[in-house]
Amino acid sequence: MKKEIKSEELAGLLEGKTVEESLQALISLFPGKIIFSTSFGFEDQVLTHFIFKNELPIEVITIDTGRIFHETYMVFNETIKKYQKKIKVYFPDREAIEKMVTEKGPFSFYYSKENRLECCRLRKVVPLNRALAGKKCWISGIRADQSDNRGRMNIVEYDEGRKMFKVHPLFYWSFDDVTEFIKKNNIPYNFLHNKGFVSIGCEPCTRAVKPGEDFRAGRWWWEHGREKECGLHIK
Ligand code: SF4
């Protein structure tokens, strides 16, 4: 029986490797079982570039919550046109969304954290779990300096609930590293980044941040507390 690798071993294996080398190592370890989920932010566009430019056998997917920005669809479109590749789209369950919006209205998430988490679960987490089913390794664009919560993560983690590794190849990149790479490689990016939007999610739940504000300050800004996550990346 093939020996199961541990998170620490995997992290050790990736240590000192470039993003390309890390992705190649993961492909060898988990052939046909690697997935990358993009929401078309700066970091995700960098990883998409590495995957598509090098024709890597990693499935690229996105979740269309039904509430994303027009600008996000534009960068989605620009990306598939530039690389001539497909990005698989996952939608939420129609009946569940119809029920929630019928019973609670289109802005239920502003009224309580419980409602907000329900909406994130139905629109993001459930379709994401559908996409991740059967996979062994999930690539994400998380960087350590994006938030306190993300700073407490590691470059490699094991998601017990989903029984899979989560790997963040850009974990040690700075924001400047990311934007310079985008510019140098002429990678399409979300124009909302030019208007002070840093972390971009759904339109009603995202706003621009002021200089010096936390990376996640523009997400669910009406909620208090430091943990600004939707349930996808909570540690
Ligand atoms: Fe719903 Fe807002 Fe979460 Fe999007 S970010 S799924 S609109 S609560």
The reply to whether 230 belongs to the active site is yes
Cite the beta strand spans of the chain per DSSP E: 34-37, 59-63, 88-90, 137-139, 156-159, 164-167
The residue whose CA is least distant from atom 6 of ligand 1 is 120
Domain boundaries, the chain: 7-191
List the chain pLDDT tens, one digit each, 235 residues.
455 789 999 999 998 999 999 999 999 999 999 999 999 999 999 999 999 999 999 999 999 999 999 999 999 999 999 999 999 999 999 999 999 999 999 999 999 999 999 999 999 999 999 999 999 999 999 998 876 777 777 899 999 999 999 999 999 999 999 999 999 999 999 999 999 998 899 999 999 988 877 777 888 888 876 555 555 654 4
**Calpha distance 129→63 (Å, rounded):** 10
Query: What are the structure tokens assigned to 117, written together?
Result: 């988490």
User: Which of the residues 119, 120, 205, 230 is marked catalytic?
Assistant: 230
Instruction: Assign 68 to helix, strand or coil.
Output: strand
Note whether 18 and 47 are within 8 A (CB).
Answer: no
The fold for domain 7-191 equals Rossmann fold (3.40.50)
The answer to whether 231 touches 214, Cβ cutoff 8 Å, is: no
Residues 33 and 27: their CA atoms lie apart, in Å, by 8
Rounded distance from Cα 107 to ligand 1 centre (Å)? 9
d(CA 230, ligand 1 centre) in Å? 8
* Burial classification of residue 139, based on how many CB atoms lie within 10 Å of its CB (0-12 exposed, 13-18 middle, 19 or more buried): buried
Q: Is any atom of ligand 1 closer than 6 Å to the C-beta of 119?
A: yes
